[in-house]
Structure formats: structure tokens, C-alpha cells
Amino acid sequence: MTDHSDDAAAVREILTGTGSTWAVVGLSNNTSRAAYGVARVLQRFGKRVVPVHPKAETVHGEQGYATLADVPFPVDVVDVFVRSDLAGEVADQAVAIGARAVWFQLGVIDEAAYERTRAAGLAMVMDRCPAIEIPRLAG
């Protein structure tokens, strides 16, 4: 099992210092999905949310894109709302586009992807939710 002892530091770094543009992979206009609510919280805390979903829908007033590679500007953080078996590929795409950090949501776990992403020099958080963490830091 991977040592995640520095996760608290990574959470703080990503939420307060890594940048303000968050690509939210799996974000659509489905209001019953967690990604929809989490994206709204991120916006309230000053983050620019970029929806990444095959439908490329505009969500919360932001233009959506079908893939990370389609986003035509730099992305700081890739927030991953896909099943664990798909998350590693998203993490690899995040590295490929030059993102600075990857955040796997609650329940999204891929130890090998965590190791690859960290080895590539990105900050990485797994199995946590920024909508839970960011108010704690802002408080």
C-alpha cells in the first residue's frame, strides 16, 4: 500500500497554491451527481471549473469539453469523478496535458495511478473531496 502520510499537505497545496483552473472530469448537467454540487462549491471558493464529459455540456456557465486534450488553455488541477477502473487513464491524460495536480474524489482509488502521477511530479490526492476540504482551509 502506498504511503499517503503527506496527503494533508497535498490537500492544502492543491486547494490554496496550485492554481485556480480545475478541470472536473465527469461533470455534466445531471444535478443528482456529486460532480455537479462539488463544482458549484469550487466556484464559490474562486476556482474556475471546466467541465470535461463526453457530452461537452456547458455547466455552471462554463464551456464543457469532451476530453482533457480538448481544453484549449492550461489546467491546474484535474478533479476526477469517474470509476476507479477508469481513473488511471484520466491521471495519465492529466500528466500529458501538463496539469499541476490530480484529485481523485471519494471512492476513486488507483494506487498505481497515484504512484505514476506523483513520479511525474504532480501533486496528488486520492479518495477525498475538495468540497469537504476547502471550507476547512478557508475557515
Which domain does 26 fall in, by range?
Answer: 10-138
Distance between the two ends of the chain, CA-based, in angstroms? Answer: 32
Residue 2 lies in a domain: no
With b meaning 16 or more CB within 10 Å and e meaning fewer, what string describes 21-47?
bbbbbbbbeeeeebbbebbebbeeeeb
Residue 1 lies in a domain: no
Please give the order of strands across the beta sheet that includes 101-104.
48-52, 21-25, 77-80, 101-104, 123-125
Amino acid at 94: A
Nearest to 126 by CA among 5, 1, 7, 3: 7
| pLDDT beneath 70: ranges in the chain | 1-6, 139
How confident is the model at residue 6, as a pLDDT? Answer: 65
CATH code of the domain containing 64: 3.40.50.720
How confident is the model at residue 3, as a pLDDT? Answer: 58
Nearest-angstrom CA–CA distance, 118 and 95:
10
Residue 3 lies in a domain: no
- As for how many domains the chain has, the answer is 1
How confident is the model at residue 66, as a pLDDT? Answer: 97
Contacts from 89-98 at CB under 8 Å and sequence distance 24+? 90/25, 91/116, 91/117, 91/124, 92/116, 93/67, 93/68, 93/69, 94/23, 94/68, 94/122, 95/120, 95/122, 96/68, 96/69, 97/68, 97/69, 97/71, 98/74
Residue 34 lies in a domain: yes
pTM: 0.93
